[in-house]
Amino acid sequence: MNEMTRIKQKNVYRFLRRFAKNISLDDLELLPRRYGGSIVFFYGEDRILKVPKNGHRAALLKETKLSEYLNTQQLPVTFPTPLWVHDKGFYAVFSRIDGREFTAEALERFTPNEMESFTRSLGAFLSFLHDHKFPDDVMQHIPHATDDLLAQLKSAKRKIKFIKEHSTEVDTMRWEEKLESLQDSLDQVWVVTHCDFSLNHVFSVQGSVKRLAVIDFADAHLHDPSVDFSELAIDLSEEGLVPDNILEMILKHYQTSDRTIAKKIEFGRLTFEIRRAYQQVRNSRKS
């Protein structure tokens, strides 16, 4: 086994035995769910071990650098602490958050005060993330996104064209009219974004709504801040929640000079709807 060996669950223990001699394999418990580009373990009672697949090692170095810096700031949310990381990104060990991810059921049980506390913390965190001037040693790890808002607009139009050509069951006129009304508001802003900001990446620390943690910065990019809000709105919808009230409360606590952010969030949700319909039409043609 060498450092270019393709990492899978069936060979990850051999890889760790070769490159992580300081890790006790007996202390590892493999997490069965998929975590994007990484294989993840509980490491003892209070740590997490991430082993990225070969193409995701730069993302792990990015995540450790960004998390390390965020932990030095005075913020209303906390983050897993990087304890050590291989210098080539082969693996990293993080502190384990003593808490659990939020679910739709948990949010539905919130009192008004709990929802206010939850959205205030998220609004303040996103304000910092999107507005802060991060040091150069952090920024060198965070790439520009390639799917800027203009690229997303062009892609959405191509997908609508494909749908119109291959399906008579989808009414695309509403999408075309909405895209037309939104396109003048798509002024791209380049800031640090989480880029996978969903419920399962927000934890309650020790079961307290007043103490939150945000995890998994492996997908962080320079992108428009509306992307984080759109991702959260889509996730809330997928979980069966109506996201508008929650987003409105977060935005109330979000500091921005971007007057078009609400329209850009609407655009993100719309392009997701178009992508999903496009995929359904493509799949129906293959069957």
For residue range 255-281, list pLDDT tens digits in order: 999 999 999 999 999 999 999 999 999
Distance CA 127, CA 211 (A): 17
Find residue 41's DSSP bridge partners: 30, 49
**How sure is the predictor about 36, in pLDDT bands with cuts at 50, 70 and 90?**
confident
Tell me: do 258 and 165 sit in the same domain. yes
Domain termination site, one of 96, 116, 131: 96
pLDDT tens-digit series, residues 228-248? 999 999 999 998 888 899 999
pLDDT tens-digit series, residues 135-153? 999 999 999 999 999 999 9
Asked whether the predicted pLDDT for residue 287 surpasses 80, the reply is no
Q: Rg (Cα) of the chain, in Å, rounded?
A: 20
Distance CA 178, CA 192 (A): 28
**How sure is the predictor about 12, in pLDDT bands with cuts at 50, 70 and 90?**
very high
Tell me: do 140 and 246 sit in the same domain. yes
The angle subtended at Cα 32 by Cα 26 and Cα 36, nearest 5°, is 110
Asked whether the predicted pLDDT for residue 88 surpasses 70, the reply is yes
| Percent of all residues in the chain with a pLDDT value above 90, rounded to a whole number | 85
The pTM is what?
0.94
Q: Is residue 3 part of a domain?
A: no
- 224: domain CATH number is 3.90.1200.10
**How sure is the predictor about 179, in pLDDT bands with cuts at 50, 70 and 90?**
very high
Tell me: do 186 and 77 sit in the same domain. no
Tell me: do 124 and 252 sit in the same domain. yes
Between 100 and 156, the higher pLDDT residue: 156
**How sure is the predictor about 34, in pLDDT bands with cuts at 50, 70 and 90?**
low
Over residues 175-182, mean pLDDT: 97
What per-residue confidence (pLDDT) applies to 207? Answer: 78
Q: Is residue 148 part of a domain?
A: yes
Q: Is residue 2 part of a domain?
A: no
Reading phi first (left if > 0) and then psi (alpha if -120 to 50, else beta), residue 36 is in left
Look at the chain and report how many structural domains it folds into.
2
Give the range of the structural domain holding residue 149, as residue numbers without chain letter. Answer: 101-286
Instruction: Give the contacts of 268 (CB within 8 A, at least 6 positions apart).
Output: 152, 226, 227, 229, 230, 231, 233, 234
Asked whether the predicted pLDDT for residue 161 surpasses 80, the reply is yes
Asked whether the predicted pLDDT for residue 35 surpasses 70, the reply is no
Asked whether the predicted pLDDT for residue 42 surpasses 70, the reply is yes
Q: Is residue 59 part of a domain?
A: yes
Domain termination site, one of 96, 115, 144: 96
What per-residue confidence (pLDDT) applies to 74? Answer: 95
pLDDT tens-digit series, residues 181-239? 999 999 999 999 999 999 989 999 987 888 999 999 999 999 999 999 999 999 999 98
Distance CA 240, CA 66 (A): 32
Tell me: do 37 and 172 sit in the same domain. no
Tell me: do 186 and 215 sit in the same domain. yes
Tell me: do 88 and 200 sit in the same domain. no
Tell me: do 152 and 279 sit in the same domain. yes
Tell me: do 106 and 141 sit in the same domain. yes
Domain termination site, one of 81, 96, 111: 96
Tell me: do 52 and 144 sit in the same domain. no
Tell me: do 26 and 140 sit in the same domain. no
Tell me: do 30 and 155 sit in the same domain. no
Residue 48 CB coordination number (10 Å): 21
Between 162 and 284, the higher pLDDT residue: 162
Q: Give the amino acid at 118.
A: F
- 52: domain CATH number is 3.30.200.20
